[in-house]
Amino acid sequence: MKSTTKYLALIPALLVPLFRAAAGEPPPALVELASVTIVDGSVFYRPGDLIVGHPSLPGRPGLRPMAGADPVQIPADLSDYEDLSSACPRVPPVSHPQQTALGEGVVIARGDMGADGRIEHVTVRRSSLMDPPRVLVFRDEELLADAYLPMPAQPCTALVAEASPGASPDLILLWSSRGYQGLTIGVLVFRLP
């Protein structure tokens, strides 16, 4: 009797993804934990700490988006931090961002994101030049969740890591767009499903 109950409990977990796919139901949206944009600034990361700001300006103004909206002073010693914004091009691309379709998709992060032995990957794809880039999170080739980047954003990099102390790993995604004010870098932090 116990073994039958155990197998019956697995049926909904196996059938729900099939019904979603058959019904054409969209995947759930990624839950956004933080969203920040900065013009001609930098984004620094170390486990449990994410800082966005201008380290070269007087007073080294910054913000820790996962800790609230209060301004902070960027540490003078950033040797323990990774400069995530270095993945964003500082010069305009040869072609206008709107002229480049991502087509089949560009995998920007891959690995065991949940530390459960299952391989996940994050893909960014654009179905047409008029559509915003779409972020897709897969686990074992099953689409778990998605989100859209603003137009005309170009994805720079993605990192699956702790964006705040003691938190489970999140998806940290950087995008960029060049405008008349300079290079705008966007930082999105999503909760992984």
Digit-coded pLDDT (tens) for 23-71: 567 788 888 999 999 999 999 999 999 999 999 999 999 999 999 889 9
Mean pLDDT of the chain: 76
Distance CA 9, CA 92 (A): 54
In order of 38, 86, 177, 178, the CA distances from 181 in angstroms are 11, 19, 10, 8
Predicted confidence at residue 84, as pLDDT, reads 92
Q: How many domains does the chain have?
A: 1
Give the residue numbers spanning the domain of 67. Answer: 2-191
Predicted confidence at residue 13, as pLDDT, reads 41
Q: What percent of the chain has pLDDT over 90?
A: 28
**Which residues are paired to 73 by β-bridges?**
61
Distance CA 89, CA 84 (A): 11
Predicted confidence at residue 182, as pLDDT, reads 85
| Selected residue with higher pLDDT from 122 and 3 | 122
Predicted confidence at residue 3, as pLDDT, reads 47
Distance CA 165, CA 45 (A): 12
Which token pair is 48? 């449990």
Residues 6+ apart with CB under 8 A from 42: 52, 53, 54, 55, 83, 85, 185
